[in-house]
Structure formats: structure tokens, C-alpha cells
Amino acid sequence: MKNVLFAAGEKRWALYFDPLTKALESEGVAAHLSQDIPPQSVDYIVYAPDSSLQDFRPYTRAKAVLNLWAGVEKIVGNETLSIPLARMVDPGLSKGMTEWVVGHVLRHHLGMDRHIVNPDNEWRPAVPPLAFERTVVIFGLGALGTACAMALVALGFNVVGWSRSPKSVEGVTCLHGEAGLSAALAQADIAVMLLPDTPATTNLMNAETLGQMPQGAYLINPGRGPLIDDDALLGALETGQIAHATLDVFRTEPLPRVHPFWDHPNVTVTPHIAADTRPATAAQMVARNIARSEAGLPLLNLVDRSLGY
């Protein structure tokens, strides 16, 4: 019997208890799942970074921390954590992100706001280009970025991907590193930000990089708030360098009511809804990783703490 501590809050406990119980049984793992297990008896920790558990030193027997979030920036730097950490790569989360990204890419590609928001009741015929005539650049080719890129390729867009290290995705022109960044920015008619939040990616979109994009480009950020320098983006919106920004994530959440993004006519704010972990599918991923660990197999989606993701 393996003791699995659920350290992700009371509200999530109500959502996850049944799916996790069933998933563990399905994987053949005999487990005691609870929110209250003595630290020295815990074998695995199912975790959310907003948990009250921040000191992992008492958990001397634990084999892994299994994160329920895709993002690990709020735990990866915890100096008390010395055991393996796995991030969540959830099929439900990937599908949700893909649908949100594709929806907003198509919205900007087709110029839908021109007709949906038309207070002057003006007849403005404008035929959009076809998908293959528009370049969408996905910044970040992890699981979510790759899923979005492949969906956009299937719709016929010219898709370019940029990542810090070399990647290969069928149908996508993959660029990497500093040289690749400049090349990616120069052709980003629509930029989609899906990079992790690390010191190397903070303010990646700043006055200089935004200025390298085509005049009148669109910026979509469902990734992490700190990827964008807010003041630089506001400046680029005022000059028309960026035509519109659709933002789902922010440095401070909820976004303060006084933030200029709320009232800017060329900014769309969505309340961090692009993708969410789905208990049913996330539970399956957690249970699969526990089963793999018990079988002596490596954890899936293991975090490289030196890189921060």
C-alpha cells in the first residue's frame, strides 16, 4: 500500500478524490490517498504550488512530487525540494489550450473584431488573406506549443516555432536560440507566447523585440505574464507596431482593475481561462507516473530544475 498525500487544497480535493482513486485502481496501484498522512510515511505527493506545503524536508520517504499544474515556476526554486518533480502534461489541458489559441488566431486572422465591434454601423468590406499567406509564430515548443502548432498547420497556416533549444515538429519551421529569435520575430504576423516563466524568458517581449515584428502584428499570450514587458507592449500598441494584444495571463492575477490593459481598445483581457487542468485526465497522468515509478521506470514529464521547466 502506497501512501499518496494530496497537497493541493481542500477545493481540489473534492474534485480529485474520486478520479484519482479510480485512476490508481486502474493502474493497479494499491494506494491510501489522503490529505493527512504523517510526513515520514508519505510515498508520493500530489501537489499544487499554492499549497500550504512549502517545506519538503520532513518527507524523507517520498519518491516524487507530482504537480497538478503545467507551470512549475512557483516550486522549482524551492530549496527544500530534493526529490524528483514532474509537471502536468494533461491531454485535457492541451486540448483546451489548442482550442483557445486556434480561436483567437482565427479571430485576428479573419479580422472578426472589425465586424463584431462596429459601433458606427459602417460597411467595411475587407477580404482577409488565406491561411497559408499568414505566418503564425509559436514561441515555445513544449507539449502545449507543439499541440497548438500542429492544429494551425492542419488549418493551412504557415507556422514557425521558436524554442531555446533545437526542436523538430512536422510541418513547422523550427528555429532556436538567439539567431533564431530574430528570424522568428521578423516574420511573426501573429505571435503566440507559450514559453515557461524562467529568468531567461522574463520580458522576452520588450521594446526591442516587439519592434522586430512586422508592423501591425498581433500578440497572443496564454503562456505566462512575465514573458511580456507591459509598458513596452502599451507603447507598441500606441504606435500601431502591435495592432492588438490578446492576453490571458498577467504578472498580477486577478489583473488589477486600474491596469491600463482593461480599458485599452486594442487589448483583449481573458481571465486566465485558456487552459485548465481537468481532474479526470490529470488524475490518469498522476496515477500513470506513480505506476511507472513503482515499476522502476522513469517519471514522465520530469522537470529539469537547472532549466526551470
Residues 201 and 105 in one domain: yes
Residues 103 and 198 in one domain: yes
The confidence score (pLDDT) of residue 235 equals: 98
Active site residue 257: no
What is the phi-psi region of residue 285: left when phi exceeds 0, alpha when psi lies from -120 to 50, beta otherwise?
alpha
The confidence score (pLDDT) of residue 117 equals: 85
Asked, for residue 37, whether it belongs to a domain, the answer is yes
The confidence score (pLDDT) of residue 11 equals: 96
Residues 146 and 7 in one domain: no
More confident residue, 124 or 193: 193
Domain that holds residue 228: 92-269
Asked, for residue 126, whether it belongs to a domain, the answer is yes
Residues 198 and 221 in one domain: yes
Instruction: Determine how many CB atoms are found less than 10 A away from the CB of residue 301.
Output: 18
Q: Kindly name the residue from 12, 104, 108, 224 that is annotated as catalytic.
A: 224
Asked, for residue 259, whether it belongs to a domain, the answer is yes
Q: Average pLDDT of 295-305?
A: 96
Residues 154 and 79 in one domain: no
Q: pLDDT grade, residue 119 (50/70/90)? A: confident
Number of structural domains (the chain) is 2
Q: Kindly name the residue from 272, 278, 292, 305 that is annotated as catalytic.
A: 272
Residues 237 and 289 in one domain: no
The percent of residues in the chain predicted with pLDDT above 70, rounded, is 100
Asked, for residue 306, whether it belongs to a domain, the answer is no
Residues 176 and 290 in one domain: no
Q: Average pLDDT of 98-118?
A: 95
Residues 116 and 258 in one domain: yes
Residues 67 and 185 in one domain: no
How much is the CA Rg of the chain, to the nearest whole Å?
Answer: 21
For 84-107, the pLDDT digits (tens) are 999 999 999 999 999 999 999 999
For 124-166, the pLDDT digits (tens) are 898 999 999 999 999 999 999 999 999 999 999 999 999 999 9
Which CATH number do you get for residue 221? 3.40.50.720
Residues 59 and 69 in one domain: yes
| In the predicted structure, residue 120 carries a pLDDT above the cut 90 | no
The confidence score (pLDDT) of residue 118 equals: 85
Active site residue 272: yes
For 124, 165, 170, 181, 267, the CA distances from 127, given in Å and listed in that order, are 10, 38, 30, 31, 23
